[in-house]
A = this chain, B = another copy of it.
């Protein structure tokens, strides 16, 4: 096949939950992210021909691979399952990291195939297919990684069931410092650690903080953002799965972060910062805490990515 019929896409990592936004808020960062290449082929059906960067862990059977599931779900919806399509998956971020790895692959899979076949659907219309991919990997029906990965920016999910969401403008100078410590936190464990019931008082605090964060983001009020980035529900329970979590938090705040919490279900952590310079200092400060344990870790500094998944040069 010629190069012109090959599509290469990049889907960014995402930070979900965002402290007080448990299950309802997420944002995209510039990097890391996954790349997926798709091209037409003569053999009918979807074929995953290559996976790199996964340490051999991901299945090539498209029905067992989240990128494959998202693409197949889309092709089924369009009545095109007999199309011959080859897919290469290049994982460029750790999975099980709390950075929306399976969401990135799911989004990239659906988006790339949609592009290849002439873009019959809009990004918004791709959301349920990407979510189906994510659900196959994660077992849950959540848009808080998938939606920001697809659309970019900060996305607020009113209802996962209804796929009802709103895009929140990101303040121009808002940067994220994200650090991934090389430890494993199973999503199952991170979910199991959450209680089924919480005090009404905590719910009210969380609602106050979530509303404050949304208002702060929309009104570009960094002070209000900072006062609002508190999670009284998941963080106090999940922090024990991340060594020296509070030490890292203190280091981030001391270095000037607006706030600090767990990215998704962890083990990655994130800080929101006003400006790139502070974000670099904060990332360094967090990274040092993990290194001192010692735990290997990768630090990423990024503005809020405004674009989400997109085509890149082959």
Using CB atoms and an 8 Å cutoff, list the residues of chain A in contact with chain B.
21-25, 156-159, 162, 164, 166, 168, 194-200, 202-212, 214-216, 218-219, 221, 224, 227-228, 233
Q: Is the CB of A158 within 8 A of B200?
A: no
Q: Is the CB of A210 within 8 A of B212?
A: no
Known: A158-B227, A200-B197. A215 touches B166 (CB 8 A): yes
Query: A210 to chain B: which residues have CB within 8 Å?
Result: 207, 210-211
Measured CB to CB, the closest approach of chain B to A77, in angstroms, equals 24
Of A157, A162, A202, A204, most buried by chain B (CB within 10 Å of CB) is A204
Q: Is the CB of A211 within 8 A of B158?
A: yes
A228-B162 Cα distance, complex, nearest whole Å: 12
The chain B residue sitting closest to A162, CB to CB, is B227
Q: Is the CB of A203 within 8 A of B168?
A: no
The chain B residue sitting closest to A210, CB to CB, is B207
Query: A21 to chain B: which residues have CB within 8 Å?
Result: 207, 211
Known: A166-B224, A198-B197, A203-B203. A212 touches B158 (CB 8 A): yes
Query: A23 to chain B: which residues have CB within 8 Å?
Result: 204, 207-208
Q: Which of B157, B198, B224, B227 contacts A198 (CB 8 A)?
A: B198
Query: A233 to chain B: which residues have CB within 8 Å?
Result: 200, 203
Of A24, A194, A202, A224, most buried by chain B (CB within 10 Å of CB) is A24
Q: Which of B198, B218, B219, B227 contacts A203 (CB 8 A)?
A: B198
Q: Is the CB of B228 within 8 A of A158?
A: yes
A206-B22 Cα distance, complex, nearest whole Å: 12
Q: Is the CB of A24 within 8 A of B227?
A: no
Q: Is the CB of B195 within 8 A of A200?
A: yes
Query: A209 to chain B: which residues have CB within 8 Å?
Result: 158
A196-B201 Cα distance, complex, nearest whole Å: 8
Measured CB to CB, the closest approach of chain B to A292, in angstroms, equals 34
The chain B residue sitting closest to A201, CB to CB, is B196
Query: A196 to chain B: which residues have CB within 8 Å?
Result: 199-200
Q: Is the CB of A207 within 8 A of B207?
A: yes
Pairs across A and B, CB under 8 Å, 16 listed: A24-B207, A24-B211, A158-B224, A158-B228, A159-B208, A164-B227, A166-B212, A197-B198, A198-B200, A200-B233, A203-B203, A203-B206, A206-B207, A207-B207, A211-B211, A214-B215
The chain B residue sitting closest to A157, CB to CB, is B208
Measured CB to CB, the closest approach of chain B to A94, in angstroms, equals 27
Query: A159 to chain B: which residues have CB within 8 Å?
Result: 205, 208, 212, 227
A199-B202 Cα distance, complex, nearest whole Å: 11
A13-B188 Cα distance, complex, nearest whole Å: 48
Query: A205 to chain B: which residues have CB within 8 Å?
Result: 159
Of A21, A166, A228, most buried by chain B (CB within 10 Å of CB) is A166
The 10 lowest CB-CB distance pairs between A and B, nearest first, are A158-B212, A203-B203, A166-B215, A197-B197, A158-B208, A23-B204, A24-B208, A156-B211, A207-B210, A214-B214
